[in-house]
Chains A and B, each alone.
Chain A
Amino acid sequence: MGEDTDTRTKADGGTAPRDVTFEQVDWDEIDADGVARSRKRVAWLAVVSLWTIGVAYDLYSRFVAETGQAAFPVLGSVSPVDWLWSFTLLVLLYYGVVPLYENPRMTRYYWKEFKKNKAAVVSALYLIVVFAIGVIGPRVLPEPEPTPGLENQPPVWGSIEAYSAGTSCAGGTTTVDGVTMCQGSWQHPFGTTSSGEDILLSSIYGMEVSMQVGLIATLMSISVAAAVGLTAAYYGGLVDEVLMRYVDIQMTFPTFFLFLLLAYTIGSSLFVLILIFGLFGWGSSARIMRSEALQRREEPYMKAAKNAGASSLWTIRRHLLPNISNSLITAATLTIPSIILAEAAIAFLGLGDPTVPSWGRLISDGRDQLRTAWWISTIPGGFLFFTILAFNFLGDALRDALDPRHGGSGE
């Protein structure tokens, strides 16, 4: 770290004075200038505007013009869940990936800290794989279709008594102790369900569903929670009182039952499920963030921001929010798995949209045949299990790694 000490000339004799110093700023001129935004910000606003226009057009053709789903060039028609999903991915990109790219020193530091937790690194790799397959897979792979005749096919390394499987066997048959066994094949590496759907394909589609549900609903939930929690803590008094009493009321009504209620009245779909969990499940997160923000609000650096002339919004966004990010990440890592689990549970109980290839539905499909065709439930169950576990490990590690106060002086 020697290079930084003398990048500037500090020659013995007369040093040329810096041309830009704080004394030379003409503030009246700056006051006269309007607000200028950085290029990055402009790009972001443009993307968000595009997205908004798309949604508006889609809504228009659905409900006003009543011409059905709007068809877009390249994209074709976009489902409501896909609208949310694309926005979620954009937000993750802009607020997650871009800052890391822009700030390589911090990124290296985070990575160094994060690397210390081996379980978390494995978890992150696993989640990246699941996420990538979940995002790309359904775009390129055919949808899993029930295939009569190929029911209950075993995975490639397994076998099943032929009478339990469908009429044909993809991997041929063998005879063991006088029983005809149906062998697995690479055609269906993880076997098929009792309706003959390919389990690998279904699991891949299930990845998308789980990621969509987990990430979209969590993003919604955490955003609302942060907005409510921070506003309540920052302004205090009546604002705090009203918001928190509303949270109390909302929390008397379990999200799960709210979903059931709506599923009966307007029909259950993945979109409704995501909305319900995203918009009504944030109560406890908001409480956690509020209590954290209450402590942070009293820190002298909040006063320092005020002293600089910062507005409330600036102070909340630039100081309060980053400093409760520990709570935010904790809340998010609790929320993601719980929503994924809730979705799986709803699908398992048969209360969800039966056309959605969710892991929960697959598990439910196989529950009667655990003894004969164990893979139908356990393979998606395994994915579910490891996904939940990975999110928990990841959350723990992120919380430790993202705190710049830990560890020390960089290099």
Chain B
Amino acid sequence: MSRSDEPLLRVDGLKKHYPITEGILNTEVGRARAVDGISLELERGETFGIVGESGCGKSTAAASMVRLEEPTDGEIRFEGENVLEYDAAELRRFRREVQLIFQDPDSSFDPRMSVGDAVAEPLVVQGMSDRERRREIVADLLERVGLSAADMKRYPHEFSGGQKQRIGLARALTVNPKLLVADEPVSALDVSVQAEILRLIDEFQRELGLTVLIISHDLGVVRQVCDRVAVMYLGEFVEVGPTEELFSNPQHPYTRALLSAIPTPDPTDRGLGVELTGDVPDPSDPPSGCKFHTRCPEVIPPSGIDLSQETWRSVLTFRKQVERESIDVESIVEMGVLESGDKYGNLEEPSPDAIDDADLKRWIRSEYDVPDRLDDPRAEATVDDALDAIVDGDHDRAKAHLAEEFTTVCEREKPELEACGTEQEAACHLLDDVHVELDELRLTE
């Protein structure tokens, strides 16, 4: 049945969207794109990691890959067979090949089921009716994960978190799976226990030739145990590569930012790279083009505009605010008046009309950290025009001005994963050196 040249699991363009519905008729008003087209291949025996911040869709991706959630789109092949076409019996057999370890050791066990029953459950539902044989298998497994056979009669609450996670591993192994998917297997545990569990998984992997897929937000964990890693952001892989290469030579700005944000246990090396401002955007309304461009510290400026990255970033933020019409002139005035002291000190009701246009423009600039004067004359003129428009209350004109001048390739075009090393791939426009030329081509045509 299994073709050995096939990878164990091949996922192609996997998507999982959750409809957002409203009203009693459940009309769909939008979709949360939790997983938005990911592809990967798991080779037999390897450990693959998916890292990302909370809400990036990594857990949904894992659940969809093993059909605990029905994917919206895409293809999943396990040993060459199309998983999405399995009927109930085949799916049950598939569950034997793929097992999960869950994040929360406390809630992933039925509190009313003894540990022995919980570990034996996969055997029972898979049809092993010999009670004595089940007992033997469970006893053996519990001992092999470092507990005792007598623990079978106990209940989950009688164990510590680390012990429960061992039991979770035992439960996953009972049916001798080929693929083990571990969704944040250690993030609820103390560091000293984390290491033990990871070691145990590692030992079983070597002993049984398991393929392991680890989902984690913790880059340290992933670095320690994975052969290959994918970095996920808003439902997409932004970078995939062998662990060491990816960590030592990250290609995507998001990977770089993530790595720099990890506190090092070294008091002489202080100061975290706080490169990312703001939060992850709403997955039901993801940014256009490269989904990371709203937070990216390295957005590519349009050709012909020459600004420092910091200034360019602030101009971009300003533009986003204008686009969302969330520039609150009133409150800027309020703060401005408070800070300016004497000049407007006698104003009863601070209103935009009573303020000098130049002052107001300056305050708006400072609110969004846009320098009072941009070095690039073209950019300066555009920002100034836009500010004029805002002061006049004409947001549409401001939007148009800014959009015309400051649209970057990052928001216009979605970057595809492309090779940037022997096996490393990243999805970033910084890596395609052709984008500028392309731009030019399009303009001339």
Indicate if A touches B (C-beta under 8 A).
yes
Q: How many residues of B contact A (CB 8 A)?
A: 52
- On whether the beta carbons of A305 and B121 are closer than 8 Å, the reply is yes
The complex places the Cα of A308 from the Cα of B66 at a distance, in Å, of 12
Partner of A311 from the list B125, B148, B174 (CB cut-off 8 Å) is B125
Chain A stretch 295-340: residues in CB contact (< 8 A) with chain B: 299-301, 303-311, 314, 318-319, 322-323, 325
Chain A stretch 364-408: residues in CB contact (< 8 A) with chain B: 404-405, 408
The complex places the Cα of A304 from the Cα of B175 at a distance, in Å, of 13
Of A4-12, A183-191, A250-258, the one contacting chain B is A4-12
- On whether the beta carbons of B112 and A105 are closer than 8 Å, the reply is no
- Chain A: interface size category: 35 or more
Q: Which residues of A contact B197 (CB under 8 A)?
A: none
Whether a CB of chain A sits under 8 angstroms from the CB of B19 is no
Partner of B153 from the list A8, A30, A105, A300 (CB cut-off 8 Å) is A105
Of A16-24, A159-167, A277-285, the one contacting chain B is A16-24
Q: Which residues of A contact B99 (CB under 8 A)?
A: 307-308
- On whether the beta carbons of A404 and B111 are closer than 8 Å, the reply is yes
- On whether the beta carbons of B143 and A309 are closer than 8 Å, the reply is no
The complex places the Cα of A195 from the Cα of B43 at a distance, in Å, of 89
Q: Interface digits, B405-416 against A, CB 8 Å rule (1 contact, 0 not)?
A: 000000000000
The complex places the Cα of A30 from the Cα of B125 at a distance, in Å, of 11
Q: Which residues of B contact A405 (CB under 8 A)?
A: 111, 155, 157
- On whether the beta carbons of B113 and A322 are closer than 8 Å, the reply is yes
- Given A30-B126, A33-B129, also A300-B104 (CB < 8 A): yes
The complex places the Cα of A20 from the Cα of B128 at a distance, in Å, of 13
- On whether the beta carbons of B68 and A22 are closer than 8 Å, the reply is no
Whether a CB of chain A sits under 8 angstroms from the CB of B150 is yes
The complex places the Cα of A311 from the Cα of B174 at a distance, in Å, of 18
Partner of B148 from the list A4, A33, A36 (CB cut-off 8 Å) is A4
Of B71-79, B134-142, B239-247, B435-443, the one contacting chain A is B134-142
- On whether the beta carbons of B91 and A304 are closer than 8 Å, the reply is no
Whether a CB of chain A sits under 8 angstroms from the CB of B208 is yes
The complex places the Cα of A405 from the Cα of B100 at a distance, in Å, of 25
- On whether the beta carbons of A309 and B104 are closer than 8 Å, the reply is no
Q: In the assembled complex, how far is the CB of residue A216 from the closest CB belonging to chain B, in whole angstroms?
A: 27
Q: Which residues of B contact A309 (CB under 8 A)?
A: 91-93, 95-96, 122, 125-126
Whether a CB of chain A sits under 8 angstroms from the CB of B133 is yes
Whether a CB of chain A sits under 8 angstroms from the CB of B103 is yes
- On whether the beta carbons of A25 and B121 are closer than 8 Å, the reply is no
- On whether the beta carbons of B93 and A307 are closer than 8 Å, the reply is no
Q: In the assembled complex, how far is the CB of residue B290 from the closest CB belonging to chain A, in whole angstroms?
A: 33
Whether a CB of chain A sits under 8 angstroms from the CB of B149 is yes
Residue with the greatest number of chain A CB neighbours at <10 A, chosen from B95, B110, B155: B110
The complex places the Cα of A25 from the Cα of B122 at a distance, in Å, of 13
Whether a CB of chain B sits under 8 angstroms from the CB of A177 is no
B131's closest neighbor in chain A, by CB?
Answer: A38
Residue with the greatest number of chain B CB neighbours at <10 A, chosen from A3, A25, A105, A323: A25
Q: Which residues of A contact B107 (CB under 8 A)?
A: 299-301
- Since A303-B100, A304-B110, A323-B112 are in contact, a sample of 9 more A-B pairs with Cβ atoms closer than 8 Å, ordered by chain A residue number, is A18-B140, A20-B136, A27-B175, A300-B103, A303-B63, A306-B68, A308-B122, A309-B92, A325-B112
- Ordered by A's residue number, 6 sampled pairs between the chains whose C-beta atoms are within 8 Å are A20-B137, A27-B96, A36-B130, A308-B122, A322-B113, A323-B110
